[in-house]
Amino acid sequence: MREVSDDASAGFLRAIRVKFVNFDARFSLNELTSRSWASVTFSGARHRIDFTLAGAEAGAAADALLGNLAEAEFDLRGHILADLSLVSENRGEADKVRIALEALTVEDN
């Protein structure tokens, strides 16, 4: 069994964080898990990321990501984002949004 490539999960985390650089919203990672995945023709990893955005533009930052989730593009060196889906979204406080996403990345050989 192959190990999950550290650069796949690190690249995925980096790509998510980049989506919020133009917003007044602090990104806090709650959890990031990755596990190996393979099909007959592809190898990669499944990722689950749980994070919180806090600040004056947390809602706008979340809207920008989630409103275009199906078409979102991520720069993942050596990997391709094959699937991305929303697991949960919690907007309990006006300036705080907690989001959980699941993703599938495959190695770009």
What would be the CATH architecture of the domain defined by 6-107? Answer: 2-Layer Sandwich (3.30)
What are residue 106's DSSP bridge partners? 44, 80
* Confidence band for 72, pLDDT divided at 50, 70 and 90: confident
Q: How far is it, in rounded angstroms, from Cα 37 to Cα 43?
A: 6
Instruction: Give the percent of the chain with pLDDT over 90.
Output: 72
Instruction: Check: CB of residue 17 under 8 Å from CB of residue 25.
Output: no
Q: What are the domain boundaries of the chain?
A: 6-107
Q: What is the pLDDT of residue 73?
A: 84
* Confidence band for 6, pLDDT divided at 50, 70 and 90: low
Residue with the two structure tokens 């690190």: 10
pLDDT above 50 for 3: no
Q: What is the pLDDT of residue 76?
A: 87
Q: Dmax of the chain from CA atoms? A: 46
H or E segment and range at residue 35 = strand 26-38
